Structure 1
Amino acid sequence: MLGQSVGRLLVVLQKVNQPQDLKPLSMGELLQLTEELRSEIIRVCAQNGGHLASSLGAVELIVALHRVFNSPRDRLLFDVGHQAYAHKILTGRKEVFHTIRQEGGISGFTKVSESEHDAITVGHASTSLANALGMAIARDTLGEDYHIVALIGDGALTGGMALAALNVIGERKPRLIIILNDNEMSISENVGALNRYFREYQTKKWVQETQKWGRQVLEGISPRLFGLVDRAKEAAKLMLHQENPFYAWGIRYVGPVDGHDLPGLIHILEQIKELDGPTLLHAVTRKGKGYGVAEEDPIYWHGPPGFNPQNPIKVSKGYTWSAAFGDAVTELAHQEPRLFVITPAMREGSGLVRYSQVHPERYLDTGICEDVAATTAAGMALRGLKPVLAIYSTFMQRAYDQIIHDIAIENLPVIFAVDRAGIVGGDGATHNGVFDIAYLRTVPNVQIAAPKDALELRAMLKKALELGGPIAIRYPRDNVEKAPEGAWPEIEWGRWEVLKEGHRAYILAFGKTLKYALEAAGDDPQVGVVNARFIKPLDKELLKRLALAGHKLVTTEDHQRMGGFGSAVLEALNEMGLKPDIRVLGLPDRFFEHGSIPRMHHEARIDAEAIRAALAEMGVEAPTLAEAAHHPKPQTR
């Protein structure tokens, strides 16, 4: 396996700085290049963390694409984009590849503003086919001539957006190529009827026999000779169309083929690029290919933290908020037989592995279909279940219409467990969960809460099940102290919690920014801290009391300032006719790229230093030692 050669001299890769450098290489050199690319991907992922297994599995496909096509003139689209590491190395970013996902470095996904070779900016699944369709229409409308190739895999074809795009592609029949990178995986194992079809399809005897002579048939296909191979065409229709779902879409199907057979891939791509209309090439690959541990456990090695490439072992990521949610909902399901958990292909990420094993009859993975997950939850709620939809903030955006139309209008009892709320770090702008408060709090009937710890998360989950109605409980990508098993404290819904009293100012914070508020306040008796754990409804009673007492206020949040928690506080104060001295801290009106979370919080001015600066601006300076001694020790509760 490749793990033994990580760090060796990159002989062929040294010659390759741009895609055209692949053209004169011999097949032997191309095969060596695939090994060197894997070596470099492993080396850098070991250093930085990153999307390892998915990128290793797509190496031959990417080398074949750049050998056959001419980027950037030909447009190569990568769905999700996390499998495109080899593409980045081959397209002028070899010398900066070691900076991937690091602050100031290159993105972990394809990004239009980063390179002319990146056809689309992407981080969410199932978008490539609609993009490819739009590009093909633009090309044909403008009378231009270039190839468009979309590489879709890791479960993205199960997304409704991808299937809807296939429907239009089949009707309009533009000239483009779709490569299905079929590795049986998204992050978890793929689910659904389409995935089952592909598994059964590959094992059929006639498919195996077809593969033996498929190359000879393709060798005879060209625009000039296509009409002379009627018998081959009819045979293909008989064998492929009757049992192939792409026939219903009017899309030519080729495959399945070995996605790691580089000579075969190059040969087939050379043939099908000359065909008119849409063609789908079904390539079977192995996620983690070439690195033993990643092949054996592609789920863990999909996106591992840093590791020793010569001795790759799993490392604990600590006890995360996701794990805290998973433990809580697993226990809660024993108490509430109507509780049902849904995830859109994020079992591992959302901490639901144990739940899926303990309560398999009350667990549903919809695949990468957030809209389907939300509306399925609505259907369950309409017939007496209490669904919990575990979903990342960034992915919940894809179900916004369903939240409004199918859930909120009828005030259905659906709980949204909103993971990865706030800045997320290495995944960057496409994955930051910094819009959910703004787009949820405008929706009638929807309530929003943010626990300060795992124990409060448990209290909120249990209370939300009792209350009913759509309730979003948001928590960050971070570690948290484990709550005692079996602990289910009561919580007064809609009430904030005063963590520290102050006689001049109060910091209103929740979630991840609460630690910054406590750090900024320190032992200063002037400054109090409120765990503003309910964003909708706000605790207007406490807010009014603080404002009427003349306290200066600072709100802080790991969310867009525009439309967020601070905006809600300002709106409430305005409704009450109160005008306290207040500062609203939140993310500015721009996208934040990848980097360390503390550094980005500092840049966004929502950390402890920024809070202290806001207090100082309002005249609440940190006390001298003499002043601190004069005041009694601050009360906390």
Structure 2
Amino acid sequence: MILDTVNSPQDLKTLTQSELLELVGELRSEIIRVCAQNGGHLASSLGAVELIVALHRVFDSPRDRILFDVGHQAYAHKILTGRKEVFHTIRQEGGISGFTKVSESEHDAITVGHASTSLANALGMAIARDTLGQDYHVVAVIGDGAFTGGMALAAMNVIGGQKRKLLTILNDNEMSISENVGALNRYFKEYQTRKWVQDTQKWGKQVLEGISPKLFNLVDRAKEAAKLMLHQENPFYAWGIRYVGPVDGHDLPGLIHILEQIKELDGPTLLHIVTQKGKGYGVAEEDPIYWHGPPGFNPDKPEKVSKGYSWSAAFGDAITELASSDPKIFVITPAMREGSGLVRYSQTHPERYLDTGIAEDVAATVAAGMGLRGLKPVLAIYSTFMQRAYDQIIHDIAIEKVPVVFAVDRAGIVGGDGATHNGVFDIAYLRTVPNLQIAAPKDAYELRAMLKKALELQAPIALRYPRDSVEKVPEGTWPSIEWGRWEILKEGRKAYILSFGKTLKYALEAALDNPEVGVINARFLKPLDQEMLAQLAQGGYKLVTVEDHQRMGGFGSAVLESLSGLGLQAEVRVLGLQDVFYDHGSIARMHAEAGIDAASIRAALAELGLPAQMALRDLR
């Protein structure tokens, strides 16, 4: 295999064109093999193989900086940059990251996981290079999905004004995780199908074939000559950015040729390539949404695997039913229709559904505008992505108590996606915001009760739930709930475990068969159930708080602050995630490492003088 001979990007420079084409097929086979074993970002990585081979053939990594936006399309990059022997460990405990990561390899220019950050990073590197008098190339690879993010568009505006030597490659496959949305996406689709654009592509390739170092100014003259037919009709011209394309992103010889010709051009250049997500693997080409990040599968007989009934699906079913009886409900998502369980909703209520693209800040403020004018907006958003809308939550929503319900998905440790995707900061940054309420249901029944009540309360409310499976609730089931009140699930004689969210299962396991220890579903964090908390403190009960969130600023901190404010004392142990970034791996293992699993709760109880009772089955 050609791949066996490639241990660094420098090895690509000695290969023939036929060997490079063979290498492309081998890279795809290896990506499919490992994703079948581990799960992972399959379709996006398959679509970028030719591009990555071309980039490493033409540029000199790590001296030249190649930045991958999000990074989930960079699997071939990882294999070619000295990690092929450990590629089988990707996203696994102790293995390499599923995204690019600075601390993992000198070839990874940035650590990523959230979209739209590559261009600003690239501009910063170009400025640093010029300021320090250095000489290297900076190349940012960004998908058209990431272009829906305001940060990318704002960075393009600055790049055009700065006029630094910087190459942006727009990898246009018409997809994020879901289909792309918005005016820019519509423009790209229409633009590529125009006959004069296709003719211009052929004309542009002929021009580029004649370029030599002494004829670089010809590109600018050619640009001026084509202005009426090309540049005035694309947005990059208005930004002051040289545009080349669109070109076939799977034509490896063509990509290498064009990159070699444009790499030395002064100022900012954008190369627009068109690729197919899932390229080279039939099922991924046909359904790039499912195969974007599938679980493990049989590569010889790939079939979709049911992931079980998730919290996301439970939310999607509940809000679909509620919207059927309430015409004021309007659901918004920032490019996460499938992930947030909204496929059914978007089909049932298309007139009351909005996908803003990868623009969380826009999604939050659009929700604010809806709430100010009489609608009941529900923003379905991952905890890790809600961080990107923090100012809007404060400024546009909370100050005026605008009734927006946040369906905060993927709260807590998430597993394979690691540090950039763990939703472990939302409690701390939300509970400090006045007027904003926070709750976490224990199951899908409670989720329905909370969602229905939250929409009735007409206030800013965040409902937090994990990435996990949950028991399905029959349609039409709407339990009632006393807002702000905790729930005693098990009585205790001397101590209580106060659990917020996903850790409730650990609390119940830790207290099993121990009559001394009770368990409380502390489902409301803000407002906190101060009446029950006061009763516990005044009754002399010892308390253990547990949460799938950073310990600093989390649920346990709120309990301690509340006790202090009430002038009460209690012996409390606070269990939560430590002051570190948790990497990818098994959720159960990380919970144990963080000290929030059942064994850790038992240990905390023992510190309080309450050793665990031995269940009869344990004695056997």
- Shorter chain as denominator, the TM-score bin is over 0.9
The residue aligned with 1:35 is 25
The equivalent residue for 1:442 is 432
Residue 182 of structure 2 is aligned with which of 171, 192, 195? 192
In 2, the alpha carbon distance for the partners of 1:39 and 1:497 equals 52
What is the deviation of 1:219? 2.4
Distance in 1 between residues matched to 2:321 and 2:253, nearest whole Å: 53
C-alpha distance in structure 1 between counterparts of 2:501 and 2:244, whole Å? 50
Confirm or deny that 1:464 pairs with 2:469. no
Q: 2:378 aligns to what SS in structure 1?
A: strand
Moved runs in structure 1, 4+ residues, more than 6 A?
none
Match of 2:476 in 1: 486
- Give the equivalent residue in structure 1 for 2:569: 579
Distance 1:468 1:179 in 2: 45
Q: Distance in 2 between matches of 1:381 and 1:431?
A: 28
d(CA) in 2 for partners of 1:267, 1:289: 21
Task: Give how far 1:595 is off.
Answer: 0.2
Show the counterpart of 1:99. Answer: 89
In structure 1, the partner of 2:53 is: 63
1:518 equivalent in alignment to 2:508: yes
Shift of 1:578: 1.4
Q: Who is 2:606 aligned against?
A: 616
Q: Is 1:321 equivalent to 2:302 in the alignment? A: no
Q: Is the 8 A contact 1:154 1:187 kept in 2?
A: no
Deviation per CA, 1:12-38: give whole Å up to 9, x if none.
000001000000000000001000000
1:373-423 CA distance string (max 9 Å, x none):
000000000100000000000000000000000000000100000000000
Matched, 1:13 2:11: no
- Say whether 1:204 aligns with 2:194: yes
Shift of 1:625: 7.5
Structure 2: how far apart are the matches of 1:344 and 1:232? 39
1: CA distance between counterparts of 2:429 and 2:405?
16
The answer on 1:129 being equivalent to 2:119 is: yes
Measured in 2, the distance between the counterparts of 1:229 and 1:402 equals 43
Residue pairs, 1:132-171, within 5 angstroms: 132-153=122-143, 155-171=145-161
Task: Report if aligned partners of 2:513, 2:613 keep a CA contact under 8 Å in 1.
Answer: no
Structure 2, unpaired ranges of 5+: none
Counterpart mapping for 1:213-228 below 5 A: 213-227=203-217
SS of 2:229 mapped into structure 1: helix
Contact 2:144 2:170 in 1 (8 A): no
Structure 1: which 5+ runs fail to align? 1-10, 630-637
TM-superposed CA distance for 1:154, in Å, is 5.2
Quickly say closer, same or farther: Cα 1:344–1:28, change in 2 above 3 A. same
Give per-residue Cα distances to partners, 1:28-84, cap 9 Å, x unaligned: 000010000000000000000000000000000000000000000000000000000
Q: Distance in 2 between the 1:108 and 1:522 partners?
A: 38
The letter for the 2-side match of 1:341 is V
Q: After the TM superposition, which residues 392-431 of structure 1 pair with which residues of structure 2 at under 5 Å, given as runs?
A: 392-431=382-421
Asked if the contact 2:232/2:238 (under 8 Å) is kept, the reply is no
Change in CA separation of 1:496 and 1:248 when aligned onto 2, cut-off 3 Å: same
**What secondary structure does 1:215 align onto?**
helix
Q: CA deviation at 1:227?
A: 3.7
In structure 2, the partner of 1:300 is 290
Q: Where does 1:258-407 land on structure 2 (aligned, <5 Å)?
A: 258-407=248-397
Opposite residue 350 of structure 2, the aligned amino acid is P
Measured in 1, the distance between the counterparts of 2:600 and 2:266 equals 59
2:497–2:546: 8 Å Cα contact kept in structure 1? yes
Q: Secondary structure at the match of 2:197?
A: helix
For the residue of structure 1 that corresponds to 2:230, the secondary structure is helix
What is the Cα deviation at residue 228 of structure 1?
5.3
Q: CA RMSD in A?
A: 1.3
Residue 531 of structure 2 corresponds to: 541
Contact 2:500 2:555 in 1 (8 A): no
The alpha carbon displacement at 1:224 in A equals 2.0
Q: Is contact 1:517–1:529 with CA below 8 Å preserved after alignment?
A: yes
Q: Partners in 2 of 1:231 and 1:401 — Cα distance?
A: 45
Q: Matched residues, percent identical?
A: 83
- Provide the rounded CA distance (Å) in 1 between the counterparts of 2:116 and 2:265: 24
Measured in 1, the distance between the counterparts of 2:554 and 2:220 equals: 63
Residue 459 of structure 1 aligns to a residue whose secondary structure is: helix
Measure, in 2, the Cα distance between the counterparts of 1:611 and 1:171.
Answer: 56
Question: Helix, strand or coil: the match of 1:238?
Answer: coil
TM-fit CA distance, 1:232? 2.7
Given that 2:513 and 2:614 are in contact with CA atoms closer than 8 Å, whether structure 1 keeps it comes out as no
Does the Cα contact within 8 Å between 2:330 and 2:353 map onto a contact in 1? Answer: yes
Q: Distance in 2 between matches of 1:529 and 1:223?
A: 74
Cα separation, partners in 2 of 1:438 and 1:230, compared to 1, 3 Å: closer
Any idea what SS the aligned residue of 1:95 has? helix
Q: Which deviates further from its counterpart, 601-610 or 237-246? A: 237-246
Q: 1:499 to 1:47 in 2, by over 3 A?
A: same
The answer on whether the counterparts of 2:381 and 2:409 sit within 8 Å (CA) in structure 1 is yes
Q: Is the 8 A contact 1:178 1:281 kept in 2?
A: yes
Distance 1:542 1:424 in 2: 31
User: Is the 8 Å Cα contact of residues 223 and 275 (structure 1) preserved in structure 2?
Assistant: no
Change (3 A) 1:584 1:256: same
Shift in alpha-carbon separation, 1:609–1:143, aligned structure 2, 3 A = same
1:469 CA drift (Å): 1.1
Give CA deviations for 1:65-112 in whole Å, capped at 9, x if unaligned. Answer: 000000000000000000000000000000000000000000000000
Q: Tell me, yes or no, if the aligned pair for 2:178 and 2:337 is still in contact at 8 Å.
A: yes
C-alpha change, 1:231 and 1:137, in structure 2 (3 Å) is closer
CA distance in 2, matches of 1:247, 1:621: 71
Q: Does 1:566 align with 2:579?
A: no
* C-alpha separation in 2, matches of 1:91 and 1:513: 40
Q: Distance in 2 between matches of 1:113 and 1:225?
A: 41
* Alpha-carbon distance, 1:226 to partner: 3.1
CA contact (8 A) 2:249 2:255 kept: yes
User: CA offsets per residue over residues 195-241 of structure 1, 9 Å max, x none?
Assistant: 00000000111111112222220123344223457753332222221
CA drift of 1:468 comes to: 1.2
TM-score by length of structure 1 reads 0.96
In the TM superposition, what whole-angstrom CA distance separates every residue of 1:138-165 from its partner, at most 9, and x where no partner exists?
0000000000000000500110000000
Distance (whole Å) between structure 1 residues aligned to residue 613 and residue 506 of structure 2: 18
SS at structure 2 position matched to 1:267: helix
1:486-522 CA-to-partner distances (Å, cap 9, x unmatched) read: 0111100000000000001000002210000000000
> Residue 120 of structure 1 corresponds to which residue in structure 2?
110
3-state SS of paired residue (1:224): helix
TM-score normalized by structure 2? 0.98
Give the secondary-structure state (helix, strand or coil) at the position aligned to 1:137. Answer: helix
